[in-house]
Chain A
Amino acid sequence: MSNRCSNEETRVDSRTIYVGHRSSSTNEAFIPPKFCDNRIVSSKYTVWNFLPKNLFEQFRRIANFYFLIIFLVQVIVDTPTSPVTSGLPLFFVITVTAIKQGYEDWLRHKADNEVNKYPVTVLEQGRRIRKESEKIKVGDVVEVEEDVTFPCDLILLQSSRDDDTCFVTTASLDGESNHKTHYTVPDTEKDLETLNATIECEQPQPDLYKFVGRMHIYKNDQEPAVRSLGPENLLLKGATLKNTQRICGVAIYTGMETKMALNYQGKSQKRSAVEKSINAFLLVYLCILVSKALVCTTLKYVWQGKPGQDEPWYNEKTQREKDTNLYLKMFTDFLSFMVLFNFIIPVSMYVTVEMQKFLGSFFITWDKDFFDPEIKEGALVNTSDLNEELGQVEYVFTDKTGTLTQNNMEFIECCIDGFQYKYRDASSDLDGFCVTDGPLNKVQEKAGREELFLRALCLCHTVQVKESSEQGQGQRDQVDGFGLDGEVLPPLREQRGFIASSPDEVALVKGAMRFGFTFLGLESKNMKILTRNNDIEMYELLHVLNFDPVRRRMSVIVRSKSGDTLLFCKGADSSIFPRVRQEEVERIRMHVERNATTDDYLLVVTLGAMCFAVQEEDYAQADAGLMEARLALQDREQKLMAVYNQVETGMSLIGATAVEDRLQEEAAETMEALQGAGIKVWVLTGDKMETAKSTCYACRLFQRNTELLELTVRTLEDGGRRREERLHELLLEYHKKAVQDAPTWSSANQDYGFIIDGATLSMVLNSSSESNSSRYKNLFLQICQNCTSVLCCRMAPLQKAQIVKMVKNSKGSPITLSIGDGANDVSMILEAHVGIGIKGKEGRQAVRNSDYAIPKLKHLKKLLLAHGHLYYVRIAHLVQYFFYKNLCFILPQFLYQFFCGYSQQPLYDAAYLTMYNICFTSMPILAYSLLEQHICIEVLLDNAALYRDIAKNGMLRWRPFLYWTLLGVFHGLLFFFGVRFLFSNPALQDNGQVFGNWSYGTIVFTVLVFTVTLKLALDTRHWTWINHFVIWGSLLFYVFFSFFWGGIIWPFLKQQRLYFVFANMLSSVSAWLVIILLILLSLLPEILLVVFHKPRGPRQVELRHIHTFPLYFTHSFSPRFIYLFHFLTVLPLFSLWFWSSLMEPIFNIFIRGI
């Protein structure tokens, strides 16, 4: 009973695994716990549930559901158009999507099978059994050979390597291709058969880098030994074994519970502003649709109220119609009108938008300018949904290290005991070391400190020595052996490669190597270093206190040959200084600060490391604390942190190093371009203020004349008053300066730069009193928004996301973009509207979580200014055009109701209704939306200011929408009434024969197809052969199709409505004339607007390139001109219709008079 209870209890947050399914004690009944099997199921469907499940998923989308409803109404109710007209496009869309999803799922099935059926070796009762991977159960002992991928998450029990380690690469998990060392559980027996142990570990969770567990090893009649398990013991499914012949491990997480599978879950969907606009427009059109249907239904019943209209003798109803209830009839009439006008919301728009996004995103991956020859990679598009958002960015949040700077660290100088040393390449100095300042006395003492410092550099890190894999075992032996032979060292020393998680560690080790202290590698817990005198020194590595971004330091505890236990700690100055004896700090602080503010714009100098020693007596206690914390199952992190903090105290300062990090190529130019584009750049960095500030100067984010508003701990402490008061005071002061006194932001007489640090930010955001908090936040935001650039330093990763979120939700909800390269940027990349990852040196986490990944910062310029701008213009035009073309498609049909007794008679033939959006008008706009370059890419890149033209969703605001809608209405009216006046005498052929209603519709439709296509042609500024092909091709196709459709008596059609209608139409001169007239008249205002758009631009040369936009860029006209223009064009055109309709009777009178 108690056993079950404890089971219940543990199930919540941990699981118990019996290694090799051997129960821990014989007297207890062994109940194998149930875990899921090792099948990976990434597929969504099976053969059986594909159809229902896929259809269900598809119809969950509002648009599809709407079209389904329309289709069903058409099937059930007697509607004017056949169900085919809306059924066929819907069927097409659904089928294509289903095929695409089915194919993707089939690929997933294939991939799943490949993984699931992969043969593995399992040790069972001493025998090695081949099994399929999917049959592995939790607790099985699995053997994995070199270069094989782990089939599930394993705890490493045994390795073929002597030092109980193995190497893996996790390239397929997080993209990091360096070899990582994993360790066997200490003290497990070599003979796995007799191993009797249980593992307690946490329930599966997706974090790849976190794992806590505990292993109980039962030996015959002894107290069970307990060993802690950490991520270093865990081999993840998906990782590959390297440099190790074979390992054995026990499966702890299988199948869908492996960390890899848990990481499959997609990121939250980001939606672009364009999509929101589309939905808003859709709503407007839905209202138009419903009101049209309502108007028609109402008028129908008013009209029918007059005697003799509803059912004249020539047009009687069927008995069933007569019997139908009046209200039901009204309702079905309403539905019928809805169906008749439903083409105003086109299915095809969704397809075209999706296609545009999907195909359009290839241009980013294809762009060779994004190809970086160093890493041999181009840009990566993780989502195509946000292409156009790249053209709307208002705020860029950038990381500093690795993003603005190269993260290519180089050791340049150090400071030992207050003396500055610079490395000189000249070989004149024996050790390459020279003192550049300070007295040269106390040489002996100095030498001792120097050596200690260099040893610290060699020991205090987690760097591995790279073993070249092709040389395999032999090379390893050589590495092991060569240390004894001093002679072979120098050449090898140069070839030595180091692998570390952070490049500055490598820089430090390499720096030490230049000064004669070489780290030779870690061998069974002994660190070997080669000193200046070619002596090998061995240090036993007792503990590594890992680096983490919160502590911002790391330590090692080693025991030297002489038995001294030393703790070396390195970290950022701010995290070290409080922990050392204060009297030593001052001398070094001076150097550190001078380094950081060096005005050399090409290099950014960061302070890298400090090293310290701690004495023996603390060790026993520290060791116990560390062991205890490591074994903890719960809150291990916090406990470790507490112990670390406790251990890393009372140290003494040895020295400081300066590591240089160069700016990224063209970082300054890129930042300048972004600012020129009206984008505000905020630098969010974990680095300290001085370094970050000099980076900002180097990137020209701050100029010489920029007035810096500083809100940091230092300025807060200046006044000597309470921080809160000072904060309040400063905020108000800055606010007055930057917001109230600045007349308008554009005049830019004074640039302001704002600097804030993490501590102050948290004071601003989490002020003690509620009322202050929101007020401070507001003040802070207003100040920031009026500054050209903002620098936030000393930021924790979460604070970065907090800032992004704050700006994102501020007034006007600006579009934000985050760019970063490291794991600490992931939170802000996920938070921003668009997340950009840089394929930098700090692993792949940022890239994996980003929406787009580029190799270098400089690519951001083209990504935003060229690609983003073009994508936005393309998709905005696509959306507006789609609504426009369907409005002028359906409006004549609506107007026709007034002339056909509101009987829902369609104006166009069913084939035209169906094909209009699918075939006749879809290709030109798709080609336009993929290829259009209204401004050449070069010009866009040269004139960053052009980016401002489309800011704030400029082409999809209500004003341009209204323009397009009015244009659609104008065209629709023109088409309908133009033909209406022509048909006042339907004898249009030269043999006196008359045209009927289908000819009427066909003439309107012909004008429509030609007008909307030519309208697009007028808007096209970039005519590639593809544009020519699809535009002229569509028109030709329309003509050929019409001939073909009207040329045959179709056996499957009930009515041959269009039989020879098109051909007869073309035989009528009047029809030709009216078609030409209406097309020209429709496009006339357009042409005039295009003509009189004055291109703006700083230089005349650009007039050639900066092409014109129609009315949606009306801000370039003066309002007076616009009114004049409307008067001149639209008014006469409309009055023309009144005129001609008035003239008709007058002419009749006139002619009769004759």
Chain B
Amino acid sequence: MMATSYNAKDEDGRVTVCGPGGGPLLRGKKPENTALKQQRLAAWQPVLTAGTALPALFAVGLLFIPVGVGLFVTSNNIRELEIDYTGADASSPCFSCSQSFSWNSTRPCTCTVPFYLEQPYESNVYVYYGLSNFYQNHRRYVKSRDDGQLNGNEKSLTEPSKECEPYAYRDNEPIAPCGAIANSMFNDTLELFYNDPNGTKIQIPLNATGIAWWTDKHVKFGNPGGNDQNLSAAFQGTTRPVNWRRPVYELDSDRGNNGFVNEDFIVWMRTAALPTFRKLYRIIGKKDNVVPTLPRGNYTLEVVYNYPVRSFEGRKRVILSTISWMGGKNPFLGVAYIAVGAVCFFLGVVLLAMHHKCGNRNGDGDISN
């Protein structure tokens, strides 16, 4: 493919890298005749010509278009449903909850959002919650954590890093987990019910494990004194974050998913890249090959509305999505691949024509082979 010429002027070119013997040259010493010193190192001199690059252009086009089509089709086959339950308009079911929100309320506000699945979701269904206009990537926010504490370091537990300010201490008691990220952990509870056509409401089991990176759960995060300890004792002397309703050792009843290794917590602690983001909430496991995981029909989303977003004009969503080998639904890659492939192919054709015209004039027969 490449028109190359191998420049081997000096095959015997022994390469000796000498120290700086330069400066004032020693009188009477002839410079060594080595390939490096004489700038005659054997070299590959690729010449990119139309003859080599045009086929490459076509190859890229021919390769990218099918890949793009594949990606596009894959992305299209992913089922995805977004439900906005912010309760911004008066008509929405969560309107009252969003209006009457207060940090101190003892009775949680609950709202119910009905929705209809037009197509059955065959494979595993992933439940995400999404937030908009939430700046998890704000610098002050991103650095407001203590990874030492989260790793189970006893010293950091009682003396949180000053990066956690102003969420490091409450009433002179160290906060565990400290910092703004932990303090603002998403705490809405989402539950899904299938409205059977015969009128019964069947709760869909949501799996809360497998949502965080394995390495995060097993290495990066750890409870003080190990995960098998009595957590309430391990967190003795610390207090819960300001906006939390429960201490960290009561996040889950499952011991392996409690304290700092709670997966909801770990997922939240991985700060999002953009102000509109989604985070994995639960997984609905596939039962068997006969019954779809979520058959088409009516569903109800029950939300325990704890998380205020109106103050910063944010939105809250729930996303039900299936997953493919390329991840969640995103037409971008497919479109981009098809577009680039098409552009390459198109350019190839145009340039081939142009080159043919100009090339003949210059008598450059490179293109024909």
Contacts and interface: CB of A to CB of B under 8 A. Distances in A.
Which of B50, B145, B212 has most A Cβ within 10 Å?
A: B50
Interface in A1042-1094: 1049, 1053-1056, 1059-1060, 1063-1064, 1068-1070, 1073-1074, 1077, 1080-1081, 1084, 1087-1088, 1090-1092, 1094
A1054 B30 contact: no
Most buried by B among A985, A990, A1024, A1053: A985
A312 B135 contact: yes
A426 B277 CA distance: 104
Contacts of A1084: 340, 344
Interface string A985-1012: 1111111111111111000000000000
B166 A1059 contact: no
B351 interface: yes
Contacts of B243: 313-314
Interface stretch (B83-91, B191-199, B265-273): B265-273
Contacts of B277: 986, 994
Nearest to B311: A308
A506 interface: no
Contact of A1059 (B44, B212, B220): B220
A1109 to B, nearest CB: 12
A641 interface: no
Interface string A356-367: 001001110111
A320 to B, nearest CB: 8
A901 B52 CA distance: 47
B210 A1023 contact: no
B22 A362 contact: yes
A933 B332 contact: no
Contact of B22 (A361, A905, A995, A1021): A361
A180 interface: no
Contacts of A1068: 327
A1049 B219 contact: yes
A283 interface: no
Interface string B43-67: 1111111101110110010001001
Interface residues of B, number: 118
A994 B332 CA distance: 17
Interface stretch (A24-32, A148-156, A455-463, A1137-1145): A1137-1145
Contact of A1087 (B45, B48, B337): B48
Contact of B53 (A985, A1025, A1064, A1088): A1088
Interface stretch (A69-77, A377-385, A775-783, A795-803): A377-385
B41 interface: yes
Interface string B193-216: 000000000000000001111011
Interface stretch (B32-40, B92-100, B106-114, B291-299): B32-40
Contacts of B147: 1053-1056
A953 to B, nearest CB: 24
Contacts of B337: 1073, 1077
Given A936-B7, A1091-B53, A1108-B48, A992 B126 contact: yes
A580 interface: no
Contact of B273 (A366, A373, A1000, A1081): A1000
Interface string B248-284: 0000000000000000000100111111011110010
Contacts of A361: 22
B332 A981 contact: yes
B137 interface: yes
Nearest to B350: A1128
A899 B45 CA distance: 44
Given A80-B139, A318-B166, A992-B323, A986 B273 contact: yes
A931 interface: yes
| Interface range on chain A (Cβ under 8 Å from partner) | 35 or more
A904 interface: yes
Interface in A401-443: none
Contact of A1143 (B46, B273, B335): B335
Interface string A966-994: 00000000000010111111111111111
A992 B351 contact: no
B183 interface: yes
A903 B29 CA distance: 62
A1025 B41 contact: yes
Contacts, number: 316
A366 B60 contact: no
Contacts of B358: 1094
Nearest to B118: A1154
A317 B215 contact: no
Interface in B297-338: 308, 311-313, 321, 323-333, 335-337
A324 interface: no
A485 to B, nearest CB: 38
B333 A1091 contact: no
B140 A987 contact: no
B41 A1024 contact: yes
A227 interface: no
B148 interface: yes
Nearest to A1067: B213
Given A366-B38, A1068-B327, A1132 B343 contact: yes
A1054 B148 contact: yes
A985 B137 contact: no
Interface string B124-146: 10101000001111111111111
B31 A365 contact: yes
A515 interface: no
B141 A314 contact: yes
B347 interface: yes
B166 A990 contact: no
A487 interface: no
Nearest to B71: A1073
Interface string A921-958: 00000000001010011000000000000000000000
Nearest to B80: A1151
A997 B312 contact: no
Contact of A1136 (B139, B148, B280, B339): B339
A1104 interface: yes
Contacts of A1073: 67, 71, 326, 333, 337
A615 interface: no
B366 to A, nearest CB: 10
Contacts of B362: 1094
A1091 B308 CA distance: 58
B151 interface: yes
Contact of B340 (A937, A1104, A1136): A1136
Contacts of A1021: 45-46
A366 B31 contact: yes
Contacts of A368: 30-33, 37-38
A861 to B, nearest CB: 16
A315 interface: yes
A331 interface: no
Interface string A1123-1142: 00000110011001001100
Interface string A307-347: 01100111111110000000000000000000000000000
Top 7 A-B residue pairs of the complex, sorted by shortest distance between their CB atoms: A314-B184, A987-B328, A1000-B273, A366-B37, A903-B139, A992-B126, A376-B28
16 contacts: A308-B311, A319-B166, A378-B25, A381-B22, A899-B137, A900-B137, A983-B274, A988-B328, A991-B210, A994-B128, A1059-B220, A1077-B333, A1092-B351, A1108-B47, A1132-B343, A1139-B335
Interface of B: 5, 7, 20-25, 27-33, 37-39, 41-50, 52-54, 56-57, 60, 64, 67, 71, 76, 80, 119, 124, 126, 128, 134-148, 151, 161, 163, 165-167, 180, 183-184, 210-213, 215-216, 219-220, 243, 267, 270-275, 277-280, 283, 308, 311-313, 321, 323-333, 335-337, 339-340, 343-344, 346-347, 350-351, 355, 358, 362
